Amino acid sequence: MTNTDKTILVIGGTGMLGKPVAQQLKADGFKVCLLARNPEKAKSMLGDGYEIVKGDFEDAGTLKAALAGVDGIHISLKGGPREKDFDRVDHHGTRIIAEAARSAGVGRVTLISAYAVSEEKADTPESRSKLKGEAALKSSGVPYTIFRCSWFMETLPLFVQGKNISLIGNQIHPLHWIAAEDYARMVSKSYQTDETLNKELYIFGPEAHTMGEAMKIYTEIAAPDVKVSPISTGMLLALGMLSFNTEWKSMSTLMGHYERHGEDGSSEEADRLLEKPQITLREWSRKNQRNIQ
């Protein structure tokens, strides 16, 4: 069966990391279907050439309709910021989709996860929910591939507020930053080989930088008017509580998690099966320079 004979459903295909996967699958000849609450928005973001089913993973009827004739499903969902939302999306969302995939006879499901997901590191609502989601997928009986990714370069601009980029917490661990473009290529390639089935693959970029180092590289190249501004996780939590800002409180918890946990997996198998990522942070930053007035 060639790529053009396969249909891949992308759930979360309008998100920061789901969109490039959908685009890469299409570029590689797959038929790509999206499940989207707002089809018009999805079409405006991705253009023509995609089948778009209106619906939501929590709506059994629309999920069943989207699964008709599908050979694979890529799950790119993100819950939060409240604990119940992480559980609803990262845990139960994955379970619901995996069970529906099994019933529909789907050939494989791929899932984005994170490098610090394990029994030993499940110390936040997000990490616990991701771990439960992984377990639900693995126990569903559907062939799977789980991508345990390091930090994405695309997240760096999200830390920018005005003329500052917030370095939250004591981030001492070297991280292999990855570009979404490389990741999307690897996801698409996983659908072209059975060697990736029933595996958890660590996806690491070509170079390691601490978060502070990465922010310095990014700002020097892409946003020279922005300076790195450290803030402790405790201070961010206090500000979040005082202002009733749920996002700040959730971010404090998230960054506290990464203060404690560095990379301890190996990307060797993923690099062998899916070709090692090539885009460096400096290359990515040059391509994503901000418009400076």
> Residue 86 falls within a domain, yes or no?
yes
> What is the predicted pLDDT for the residue at 207?
98
> Residue 146 falls within a domain, yes or no?
yes
Q: What is the domain range of residue 82?
A: 3-150+178-204+263-277
* Residue 58 to residue 66: CA distance in whole angstroms: 12
> Residue 69 falls within a domain, yes or no?
yes
> Residue 28 falls within a domain, yes or no?
yes
| DSSP H or E segment with residue 184 | helix 180-190
Domain containing residue 86: CATH number? 3.40.50.720
> What is the predicted pLDDT for the residue at 77?
95
> What is the predicted pLDDT for the residue at 293?
34
> Residue 248 falls within a domain, yes or no?
no
* Residue 93 to residue 88: CA distance in whole angstroms: 6
pLDDT mean values, one per 10 residues, the chain (293 residues): 86 96 98 95 95 93 94 96 95 97 97 94 95 97 98 97 96 98 98 97 98 98 96 95 92 94 95 98 92 42
Domain tally, the chain: 1
pTM, entire model: 0.95
> What is the predicted pLDDT for the residue at 265?
92
> Residue 186 falls within a domain, yes or no?
yes
Buried b / exposed e over 75-100, threshold 16 CB at 10 Å, is: bbbbbbbebebbbbbbbbbbbbbbbb
Give the distance between the most distant pair of CA atoms in the chain.
Answer: 57
Number of Cβ within 10 Å of residue 148's Cβ equals: 23
> What is the predicted pLDDT for the residue at 72?
98
> Residue 285 falls within a domain, yes or no?
no
> Residue 226 falls within a domain, yes or no?
no
DSSP 8-state code for residue 157: G
> What is the predicted pLDDT for the residue at 251?
93
CB of 178 closer than 8 Å to CB of 277: yes
Which residues partner with 73 through β-bridges? 9, 109
